[in-house]
A = this chain, B = another copy of it.
Amino acid sequence: MASIKEVAKEAGVSVATVSYVLNKNKYVSPELTKRVLQSVQKLNYNANPIARSLRNKKTKTIGVILQNIINIFFPQVLAGLEEYAKEQNYNLLFFNTYNDLNAEKEAITSLMNMWVDGIILDSCVPEPMKTEYVKFIEGIKSHKSVPIVLLERTLGNNNHSAVTVDNFNGGYIATKHLIDKGKNRILHIGAINEWSMTLERTEGYKAAMVEYGLEDQMMIKYANLRPQDGYELMKEILMQNSTINGIFTANDQLAIGAMKAIKELGQLIPEDVAIVGFDNIFVSSLMETTLTTVNVPKYEMGRLAAKQLIDIMNNDNIQPEVIKLPVNLIVRQSTDLRGEKNWELYGW
């Protein structure tokens, strides 16, 4: 691979001139410009980004830390991130933490040491540990400043940019939808992990229940956010001949598990029990009884987070901003037999 020196030699000019021609940041006569460009072409020259990074202290690279790419929620977020980043000529360095807070901290440190220009962080920090976690992040930042944009959650204060969704409202409209469908014994299955996003969903549920005078009927259980756990919990509950006629779960995975249990025990969805999930993972539209759910704009979250980060990197007196994206209810068969039956087009 040719270097700028070889191009300069070939064109009979100095390396500075070559650099100026290619970066168009200083006047160079048409004649030399032409000679330089010809040499570039002839030698198939491309600037070495490593050398450039060393000199410029910019790597044109964004670190992406996700909880678990295997969880079908995330690939779409990553796709959104990737697309916007590539449009802006940034590359993505990818880290998976598997919901391990230590792995996450290591990833952050690692990315800092690699001089990425910015970090997109989908943290797995639970709500009770945020104070300590914030200290870690601020410590890191004081050591070397790198812009960070958080995904899905804030850090409790407004010192960090973030792209989140309106989880509270999601929980609220989900629950209200069940109430509108005439359900009054509504169970909520929340997340055992104390993540702010799921806690907010639970608060939305409570708010709706209270608003519609169902405060006494509130019933909340907690589970891991996986179908197996939804299935088992649901079996257990239904066996105790419950009178539940509506369920709102903290995510679609739980709902899918719960639906299976409900069907196995011979109850009808939505007639006997209606159910609403959260996230709108595409699998929800594939089930035989398609799942009503609160749609989270995953791809857009990714794109927006990338945009926000790049904006900050290009202009360092931008104030931290927390974007809260709206959510919307997608009514499918698990609450309304005339609900949407079409498959989501993504996921393939």
Contact = CB atoms under 8 A, between A and B. Distances in A.
B76 A348 contact: no
Contacts of A61: 93
A34 to B, nearest CB: 23
Task: Kindly report how many copies of this chain are found in the complex they form together.
Answer: 2
Given A50-B59, A72-B347, A286 B256 contact: yes
A108 interface: no
A195 interface: no
A226 B51 CA distance: 44
A63 to B, nearest CB: 9
Given A50-B50, A343-B227, A1 B143 contact: yes
A144 interface: yes
A75 interface: yes
A94 interface: yes
A44 interface: yes
Contact of A348 (B44, B225, B343): B225
A122 interface: no
A69 B54 contact: no
A74 interface: yes
> Which 9 pairs show the lowest CB-CB distances between chains A and B?
A46-B113, A226-B348, A69-B75, A94-B94, A288-B288, A1-B144, A50-B54, A50-B53, A92-B94
Interface in A82-136: 82-83, 86, 91-96, 113-115
Given A54-B51, A54-B54, A348-B71, A96 B82 contact: yes
Contacts of A141: none
Nearest to A226: B348
B79 A70 contact: yes
A253 interface: yes
Contacts of A82: 69, 94-96
Contact of A71 (B49, B287, B347): B347
A131 to B, nearest CB: 23
A49 to B, nearest CB: 5
A113 to B, nearest CB: 4
A109 to B, nearest CB: 9
B78 A69 contact: yes
A27 interface: no
B48 A115 contact: yes
Of A53, A93, A143, A347, most buried by chain B (CB within 10 Å of CB) is A347
A228 interface: yes
B288 A286 contact: no
Contacts of A59: 50
A56 B233 CA distance: 56
B49 A143 contact: no
Interface string A9-49: 00000000000000000000000000000000000101011
A348 B74 CA distance: 10
Nearest to A51: B54
A139 to B, nearest CB: 10
B286 A263 contact: no
Contact of A93 (B70, B92, B287, B348): B92
Contacts of A343: 227-228
7 contacts: A1-B143, A48-B54, A68-B79, A69-B79, A72-B75, A92-B93, A93-B93
